[in-house]
A = this chain, B = another copy of it.
Amino acid sequence: MKTATTLYELAKRLNLSTATVSRALKNHPNIAPETKKRVLELARALDYEPNAYAVSLRTSSSKELGIIVPSLTGFFYDSFITAVERLCREEGYSLLIFVSGDSSEAELASLKVCKQRKVDGIFVSLSTNTADLAYFAKLNDQDIPVIFVDRVPKENIGYKICFEDERAAELSANYLMDKGRKKILSLFGDDHLSITRKRLKSYVRAFEVRGMQDNIHIQHALGVKESSEIVKDALSTGTRYDAIFCMTDEILIGAMKTLQVLKIKIPQDIGIMCMSNGFFPGLYHPEITYVETSGKKLGETALNHMFALLKKDKRENQVKLESILVEGGSV
């Protein structure tokens, strides 16, 4: 095993001090061009790369960010993380990833690791059952910015970046009404999440505003399978639904499975729409109409926010991302 080249080694070989070598390497103003050249050459030749731990220990800036998400699997966070990772890399940051699996214990453990590793900042999308935000507050006290994304807490803590959930739900509701749908099976996610409640509330309100609150039937589904079953049960009750609204991709997928099994035609027999990152709606034919909640956009916004905070710029505590409606042919 060949041991990694150190600053000291470069200095020794060049008959310079480590200070000079260090300066040459990060083109400090006052350094002789000749010296700089020699240093750079040897560094390249020996494949020198600074030891990140020594740097961090000295500068107390880790150039690492932590990201904690409930899952990675295919619906949303993949594109969110992809966006975050790319921008991080471009700015010389590295990303520590943690998957909480919707367990608040795992979440807390990950948070502790973030603290130990002295990450410069943390992105969190809360797990379903997180109740205690004390630790998050503690991190903020220690000047480690915490940015909540998508699934944000209702408490006033840290920074929050999420979609304009109320507006998005309202958009969906109005679209369905405008299309003349009168009997809408409306499937929402986990009722514990504030994101669900926000969406549900303004969805219902939009129907009330137009006096059509009796046109919707609300149900909650926790995953693909449950959604599939709820739809199956609902369609067998005799009620003639003319549309289905799905709050997430998972719910959409479950619903579509049942519709396919029952050979129900879209949009003739029933209309369907959802809120989505945009990938899954495109898999079907006709493509599914959806209100976009883009993981990429969320990632980019969150990262810009983080970089600003790290530069000590003041930033608003909450950012809401606009949603747009993308029409397929499903309603």
Contacts and interface: CB of A to CB of B under 8 A. Distances in A.
Nearest to A96: B94
A248 interface: no
A116 B57 contact: no
A35 to B, nearest CB: 23
Interface residues of A, number: 57
Interface in A39-68: 47, 49-54, 56-57, 62, 64
A311 to B, nearest CB: 16
A113 B210 CA distance: 57
Contacts of A3: 142
Contacts of A143: 1
Interface stretch (A16-24, A79-87, A165-173): A79-87
A323 interface: no
Contact of A99 (B86, B116, B253, B261): B86
Contact of A73 (B53, B82, B89, B110): B82
Nearest to A92: B113
Contacts of A32: none
A31 to B, nearest CB: 22
A307 interface: no
Interface of A: 1-4, 47, 49-54, 56-57, 62, 64, 71-75, 78-79, 81-82, 85-86, 89, 94-99, 101, 106, 109-110, 112-113, 115-118, 138, 141-143, 253, 256-257, 260-261, 279, 282-285
Contact of A72 (B4, B72, B257): B72
Contact of A2 (B47, B118, B142, B261): B142
Contacts of A101: 86
Given A72-B82, A85-B99, A95-B98, 18 more contacts: A1-B142, A3-B142, A51-B118, A53-B53, A53-B56, A73-B74, A74-B75, A74-B78, A82-B99, A89-B98, A89-B109, A89-B110, A94-B96, A94-B117, A257-B283, A257-B285, A260-B284, A261-B285
Residue of A3, A71, A75, A82 with highest tally of chain B CB at under 10 A: A82
A314 to B, nearest CB: 16
Nearest to A85: B99
B52 A117 contact: yes
Contacts of A257: 282-283, 285
Given A82-B72, A99-B82, A253 B283 contact: yes
Residue of A50, A117, A118 with highest tally of chain B CB at under 10 A: A117
Nearest to A93: B113
Contacts of A57: 51, 53-54, 57
B1 A141 contact: yes
Contacts of A82: 71-73, 99
A225 to B, nearest CB: 10
